[in-house]
Structure 1
Amino acid sequence: MKEGIYQVSFLSSQYICGQGILVVKNGTVNGGDSGFIYSGHLVNRQGKWQVELKVKQWNQRVDSIFGAIEQFQLTLEAKLLGNGNFTATGCIFNWPQARLTIEGQYLAQAA
């Protein structure tokens, strides 16, 4: 996956959507949105990009795309598209019904 800054849009299995920013660099993934911060790792296993993200609420007035959950871990599989863009699908760890889809648009290199 191309290192850099991405604009991300996400949609949960509850049909709630959101947007945020991700920074991918040196195998790490960090970012946030109006209510949550994300941090984790990105690895390529057998030709597939896998992402594990910890998501933690920083703004108590904003619910997650899964409802009133303050903290959770996501397990995702990403597929690369043209121009460095990606799509990823996955769920909350140990809660397979809580699924989401993420679309990432590459914006720029990270410092």
Structure 2
Amino acid sequence: IELPASFTGSRRWASEQTADSLALARLDGKASLFATMTCNPNWPEIVEKLRPGQNASDIPMIVARVFKLRLQHFHHLLRTRLGRIVYIVHVVEFQKRGLPHAHIVLKVCHA
């Protein structure tokens, strides 16, 4: 079964996202910065939700929500501290132990 590009996470969707990202670099120039943000299982927002004997991989929904909020905050910091951002693209992947990490590329306007 081939899912349409409108289905988030499908192969067609991922292919379109990749093409769009490459088009940004082709039109606006190469990225200025590359960063990786990794989830820390000891973040207070995660630790306070753990029951005795649990670890972060036992509460994946909490970990995903906390990571998303922290990633949004990181994007905000990049936008406010680096000046005008031409484009920013990130990809979230999950490590074997279940924790997310994000690869981020961005182009800063130096004008």
Scaled by the length of structure 2, the TM-score of the pair is 0.27
Decide which structure has greater helix share. 2
TM-score, normalised relative to structure 1: 0.27
- Structure whose alpha-carbon radius of gyration is higher: 2
